[in-house]
């Protein structure tokens, strides 16, 4: 009986070995996905500063694996509840040099590289990158945006100086987060939403610019109308001059024709005794007025 019991116990033990091995494999095997790196933290010895690339690691029960994505991440802080890391009004309120307040949607592109992952772990502790973004990066972004915002008035920050302000915020974040293992790629301030009286001031400024543009257009139209009137006057004067010149020439011709017609009407049909000839000599006060002209040289 004891022999049969021992045989059964041995069979159970043999069957349990593969099960135990399978369970140990699943518990101790950990994967580092593609596009990420891993750090191993030992409960007894602390952080193992070796950076593990995508692979499978077997860890003991007193070890823990932390993975960090190395691709570019986007931290979005927006007032649109449909987007951003928090599904609520998460825009950043900025106070400018003229004490105006405007809420901006801020987008920060950052990454953790294999060379800086150990620094990031030491700076923020054993927390995933999502918690780093929500608990730490947002605070630095808010401080940097408000520090830079005080250098501009509300209209400059919303308009021509916004790109310059984004570059300044980016430099400040690179200085603060770079030494903590976070590389900042780009920073964008988008979708400003004026608060309080700022909206009324913007509307008044827009109306003033519109009226100024309208006045300039009206002035240009008046100038063009004046130039057109002057050109029209010159054209009409030139036309009258041309018509008058043609009329005067026609009048002289008509007078000549009328004189010729009158001469024809007065002619009695008798030719004059003296016909003009370049080779004749005419004596007006001679002794005999009835003498016929002689040819020149005779």
| Contact in structure between 94 and 149 (CB atoms under 8 Å) | yes
Instruction: Determine the topology of domain 72-195 in CATH.
Output: Tetrahydropterin Synthase; Chain A (3.30.479)
pLDDT tens for residues 212-238? 788 888 888 888 888 888 888 888 787
Domain ranges of the chain: 2-68, 72-195, 203-227
Q: Which region, left, alpha or beta, applies to residue 46 given φ > 0 means left and ψ of -120 to 50 means alpha?
A: left
| Contact in structure between 90 and 77 (CB atoms under 8 Å) | yes
- Extended strands (E) in 34-140: 36-42, 46-52, 56-58, 63-69, 73-77, 92-95, 101-111
Torsion angle of the four alpha carbons 181, 187, 191, 196, in this order, in degrees rounded to the nearest 10: 70
Per-residue pLDDT of the chain (298 residues; tens, 9 = 90+): 556 555 555 555 555 555 444 444 455 688 899 999 999 999 888 898 999 999 988 888 888 999 999 999 999 988 876 665 555 567 888 989 988 888 999 999 999 999 999 999 999 988 888 899 988 999 999 999 999 999 999 889 988 999 999 999 999 999 999 999 999 999 999 988 876 666 666 666 666 777 778 888 888 888 888 888 888 888 878 777 776 665 556 667 777 777 777 766 666 666 666 665 555 565 555 544 444 454 444 4
Strands 280-281 and 183-194: unpaired
| Residues linked to residue 74 through DSSP beta bridges, in sequence order | 109
Round to whole Å and give the CA distance between 36 and 120. 14
Residue 105, both tokens = 């949607």
Torsion angle of the four alpha carbons 158, 164, 168, 170, in this order, in degrees rounded to the nearest 10: 90
Residue 20, both tokens = 């135990």
- Residues with Cβ within 8 Å of 277's Cβ and at least 6 positions away in sequence, in order, are 293
């Amino acid at each position: 009986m004891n022999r049969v019991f021992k045989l059964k116990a041995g069979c159970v033990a043999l069957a349990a070995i593969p099960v135990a091995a399978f369970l140990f494999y699943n518990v101790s095997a950990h994967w580092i996905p593609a596009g990420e790196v891993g750090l191993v933290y030992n409960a007894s010895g602390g952080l193992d500063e070796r950076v593990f690339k995508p692979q499978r690691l077997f860890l003991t029960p007193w070890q823990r694996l932390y993975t960090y994505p190395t691709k570019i991440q986007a931290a979005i802080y927006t007032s649109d509840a449909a987007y951003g890391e928090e599904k609520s009004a998460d825009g950043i309120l900025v106070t400018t040099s003229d004490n105006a307040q405007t809420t901006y949607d801020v987008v920060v592109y950052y990454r953790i590289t294999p060379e800086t992952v150990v620094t990031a772990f030491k700076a923020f502790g054993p927390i995933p990158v999502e918690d780093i973004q929500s608990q730490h990066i947002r605070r630095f972004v808010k401080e940097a945006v408000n520090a830079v915002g005080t250098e501009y008035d509300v209209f400059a920050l919303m308009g021509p100086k916004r790109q310059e302000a984004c570059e300044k915020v980016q430099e400040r974040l690179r200085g603060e987060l770079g030494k903590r293992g976070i590389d900042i790629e780009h920073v964008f301030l988008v979708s400003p939403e004026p608060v309080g009286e700022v909206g009324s001031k913007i509307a008044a400024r827009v109306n003033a610019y519109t009226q100024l543009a309208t006045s300039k257009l009206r002035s240009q139209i008046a100038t063009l109308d004046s130039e057109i009137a002057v050109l029209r006057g010159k054209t009409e004067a030139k036309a009258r001059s041309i018509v008058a010149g043609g009329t005067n020439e026609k009048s002289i011709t008509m007078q000549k024709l009328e004189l010729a017609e009158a001469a024809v009407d007065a002619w009695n049909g008798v030719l004059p005794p003296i016909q003009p000839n370049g080779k004749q000599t005419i004596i007006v006060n001679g002794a005999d007025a009835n003498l016929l002209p002689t040819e020149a040289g005779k």
